[in-house]
Amino acid sequence: MYDQSDPRSALAKSSAATSAAGATADAEYGLFYKDPPTDDDANGRTWFCRGQNFIVAYTVAKPGATFARDAHVDEYMVLAMDRDTPIRAEAGSQNETVPGYALLIMPPGQSRITLPKGGVIIRLYTARSPDLAAKCANAASYARAHPNIPPLKNWPAPPGGYKIRPYSLEVPKAPGRFGRIWRCTTLMVNVPDINIGPRDLTKVSPHHHDDFEQGSLVLSGDWQHHIRWPWTVNMNQWRDDVHLAVGAPSLTVIPPPAIHTSTWSAPGENHLIDIFAPPRVDFSKNAGWVLNEAEYPLPPIASG
């Protein structure tokens, strides 16, 4: 359910959440602003938290910090939200440098990123790397697969081949486009504009997803995540509504088919980004919504 001013109001409607049967899962939380980091070393402090198909690594890096993957199984993403957080990226014979306020899509295999000045970076991986999955503070929650989420399947490989793909986050608004969205073969990230001041509570957006989690990574401000699970015929599976207040930085993983919306209340900046694995079909089928859509073909399920 979206206000008519929200571009998502034009998306195809999914099946009603109230028809869901069977078990559901709790939401997952990583409260990085108060939880101890997983890693605290020469590279800086890093918090790891996961959904079923994705892992978020949030790092406050020291100058010269380096993060390498020697035989990474698939593509991953690196975000620098600050304009003064330069990143050097290496993969094979390719070298790229971005000044900050940028997204990098990194190829499978051997790769390395270096932060000459340090700063905050966000790395997004799939959960296919056991070494990274083991670092997640909520790893035990996924000892068994959560219900309603199909196994992760890669989208088609880019015709231009795997390589480092740098993108500036400096993208102007466009009428009818929702946020700023990029995808690769495994992940999708949406970087909306920063909200200044509290949300208009007469224009919230309660909705649900049938078969994928949403990772909402709060970067600034004060947020409240409102989550309601559908009733089923088995009352033993019913769950109480959740209205959780979180600060920055923090990750909330919203399970399907829970109805959810988020509000923000700080008088200044309120900002979060959304993470999905695999990429969302509905967003991808709206021409122009995915900013790098020309580089990554749609799978057959999305081409109809």
Residue-wise pLDDT for 126-178, tens only, equals: 999 999 999 999 999 999 999 999 999 999 999 999 999 999 999 999 999 99
304 in a structural domain = no
Give the number of C-alpha atoms closer than 13 A to the C-alpha of residue 166, restricted to the C-beta side.
18
* DSSP bridge pairs for 4: none
Q: Is the predicted pLDDT of residue 288 greater than 70, yes or no?
A: yes
Of 212, 32, 209, nearest to 122 by C-alpha is: 32
302 in a structural domain = no
Collapsing DSSP to helix, strand or coil, 133 comes out as helix
Structural domain that includes position 33: 7-292
Contacts of 125 (CB under 8 A, 6+ apart): 54, 55, 57, 76, 132
* Residue 96 phi, psi (nearest 5): -135, 145
Of 209, 236, 228, 177, nearest to 23 by C-alpha is: 236
Domain CATH for 50: 2.60.120.10
99 in a structural domain = yes
CB 152 within 8 A of CB 126: yes
CB 207 within 8 A of CB 258: no
Q: Report residue 281 as tokens.
A: 């079909």
199 in a structural domain = yes
**In what order do the strands lie in the sheet containing 44-50?**
39-41, 44-50, 54-61, 119-126, 76-80, 102-106, 165-168
Provide the percentage of residues in the chain whose pLDDT is more than 70: 92
pLDDT band at 12 (very low <50, low <70, confident <90, very high): low
Burial 260-283 (b: 16+ CB within 10 A, else e): bbbbbebeeebbbbbbbbbbbbeb
Per-residue confidence (pLDDT) for residue 74, from 0 to 100: 98
**Domain tally, the chain:** 1
Other beta carbons within 10 angstroms of residue 71's beta carbon come to: 9
218 in a structural domain = yes
pLDDT band at 9 (very low <50, low <70, confident <90, very high): low
End-to-end CA, the chain: 24
2 in a structural domain = no
* Residue 283 phi, psi (nearest 5): -65, -40
Q: Report residue 176 as tokens.
A: 């009818």
Q: Is the predicted pLDDT of residue 302 greater than 90, yes or no?
A: no
Per-residue confidence (pLDDT) for residue 15, from 0 to 100: 52
Per-residue confidence (pLDDT) for residue 301, from 0 to 100: 79
Q: Is the predicted pLDDT of residue 300 greater than 60, yes or no?
A: yes
Per-residue confidence (pLDDT) for residue 16, from 0 to 100: 46
Question: What is the rounded distance in angstroms from the CA atom of residue 166 to the CA atom of residue 81?
Answer: 13
271 in a structural domain = yes
239 in a structural domain = yes
